[in-house]
Amino acid sequence: IVSAMGPRAPKLGTTFFAAQLIDWAFFGLAIVGVEKVRIDPQATVMVPLDLYYYPFTHSLLASLIWALGFGLLVGFWQRNALAGALSGLVVLSHWVLDWVVHRPDLSLMGSPPYYGLGLWNYPEIAMPLEIGMTLGAYLYYVSRTRGPAAPPLILLGFMLVLQAFNWFAPHPEAAGLGLYLQALVAFGVLTAIAAWVGGNRTFVLRGGLAAPSL
């Protein structure tokens, strides 16, 4: 949605990376043992991950720091304050969306109390909500941009396949390097496809005119 807000909004690849930045950092830190996760089938109905130590990425304070840092980086790199501000907000939105679906394992500053509405324990609500948000964002983006139809459809298909895999594939028996690398590769492919899509579309101005590509 953010990438379709105007010609000076951050590009689609940037917003995809921003939306996943907190998880990029988490899995990177998990690889070196700084943050920790284990498999627990009782964690939630949908996601068997016991995220028992991740204060440097998933506390609200840490999310604010990551958002500020990424927003400043984008703003200076692109010489576009609006793109930087919007990119930072996308990073921060990760914590808010996690708060909706996680069990209470999110902190404000890295220590108790912990927060989370636990929607992953209610698949009949969480699944339609996640699919609805994905489809809604897709329809908004394609309605506000102009370009070949195939690339965004490929992106949508890839997102739906990843979502289905996350929901229905057999869960790993243990957390480890393979799981972390699998997640990072999926993020990387998704971001690369998003960047490709954004590079082939232009923002639609009022009256049907087109602005530079997003």
For residue range 165-200, list pLDDT tens digits in order.
999 999 888 999 999 999 999 999 999 999 999 999
Answer whether 61's CB lies under 8 Å from 110's CB: yes
Cα-based angle 9, 86, 187 (whole degrees, multiple of 5):
90
* CB neighbour burial string for 58-90, b if at least 16 within 10 angstroms, e if fewer: bbbebbeebbeebbeebbeebebebbbbbbbeb
Q: What is the mean pLDDT of the chain?
A: 94
**132 by DSSP, 3-state: which?**
helix
Please report, rounded to a whole number, the percentage of residues in the chain having pLDDT higher than 70. Answer: 95
Question: Helix, strand, coil shares of the chain as percentages rounded to 5?
Answer: 65, 10, 25
What pLDDT is attached to residue 59?
98
Q: What's the alpha-carbon Rg for the chain, to the nearest Å?
A: 18
Examine the pLDDT at 212 and tell me if it is beyond 90.
no
What pLDDT is attached to residue 150?
96
Q: Which whole number is the average pLDDT over 90-105? A: 98
Q: What six digits make up the tokens of 148? A: 């070949």
Please report, rounded to a whole number, the percentage of residues in the chain having pLDDT higher than 90. Answer: 89
What pLDDT is attached to residue 97?
97
* Alpha-carbon gap, residue 193 to 214, rounded angstroms: 14
* Alpha-carbon gap, residue 214 to 7, rounded angstroms: 7
Give the sign of the dihedral formed by CA 162, CA 200, CA 196, CA 82.
negative
Examine the pLDDT at 208 and tell me if it is beyond 60.
no
For the CA atoms of 91, 92, 95, 101, the dihedral, rounded to the nearest 10 degrees, stands at -70
Q: What residue type is 87 in one-letter code?
A: S
What pLDDT is attached to residue 207?
52
Confidence at 91, pLDDT banded by 50, 70, 90? very high
What pLDDT is attached to residue 174?
93
What pLDDT is attached to residue 203?
86
Confidence at 206, pLDDT banded by 50, 70, 90? low
Examine the pLDDT at 137 and tell me if it is beyond 60.
yes
* Alpha-carbon gap, residue 61 to 117, rounded angstroms: 19
Confidence at 204, pLDDT banded by 50, 70, 90? confident
